[in-house]
Amino acid sequence: MLDPTRPVDVSPEPGLSSPRLPRAVPILTVWLRDLIISLAISAFIIIFLYQPVKVEGTSMMPSLDDQERIFVNKFVYRLEPIQRGDIVVFRYPRDPSKSYIKRVIGLAGDRIRIVAGQVFVNDRPLEEDYVPSEYDDLRTYGEVVVPANSYYVLGDHRTMSNDSRDFGPVSQAFIYGKAVFGYWPMDKLGRLR
C-alpha cells in the first residue's frame, strides 16, 4: 500500500534507460519547419511581388543584354502610376502568350512622332541618354496620339526592336510588371534605369 506522505520513486529499473527520441528527430523537425516557411515566403514573393526573368533578344541593348537575368516587380503599379522612362514587361498584343520588355516613351494623351530617329513627345524632343548613337534608327514615323489607358513603348536598340512603331500603343491591361533589378551576369548587378 502506498503512503501518500511518502515520495514515490519513479526512476527506471537499473539497466533500463528512459524512452527518449533520438536527438536527430527534433533537429530534423525544426529544419523541415524552417524549409517549409522559407518556401512559402519565396512562393509569395515570386507570385505576388518579384519575378525572376531572363531577357531574350537584343532590343533593349545596351540597357539589357540578351540572356541577362532581371527581377520584375509585379506589384509596383498597384501603388504608383506607370511613368515615362519605366522599363515594363507586358504581354505582346498580337500574341498574349509571349512577353516583351520595352521602355515607356508616351503616356495616355501624348502625341508621339519620330523624325529621322529623333522622338518628339508633344512637339518636344525627348532626351534619351539610354540610346547610344550606334543604336539609333533614322527612320521617320507619323504622329500617333496615345489612347486612354495605353502606353507607347520603344526598345532602346531602335534598329533591332519590334515595338509600338510596329504594333501600336500597349494597353495598360497587358502590362504586368516593371523591370527593377539586374542580378546576372554579376557585372550588370544593380538597379535598372
> What residues are paired with 88 via a beta bridge?
102, 178
- Using a 10 angstrom Cβ sphere, with 0-12 exposed, 13-18 middle and 19 or more buried, the burial of residue 90 is buried
Question: Is 190 in contact with 182 (CB distance < 8 Å)?
Answer: yes
CA gap 120, 169 in Å, rounded: 15
Catalytic choice (63, 102, 161, 178) = 102
Residue 102 annotated to the active site: yes
Instruction: Locate 108 and state its grid cell.
Output: 495616355
User: How many other C-beta atoms lie within 10 A of the C-beta of residue 133?
Assistant: 6
**Sole residue written with cell 498580337:** 94
Catalytic choice (18, 38, 42, 59) = 59
Query: If we measure between CA atoms, which residue out of 187, 190, 166, 189 comes closest to residue 102?
Result: 166
3-state DSSP assignment of residue 102: strand
CA gap 38, 49 in Å, rounded: 15
Q: What DSSP character marks residue 80?
A: S
Question: Is 126 in contact with 114 (CB distance < 8 Å)?
Answer: no
Q: Tell me which residues are annotated as active site.
A: 59, 102
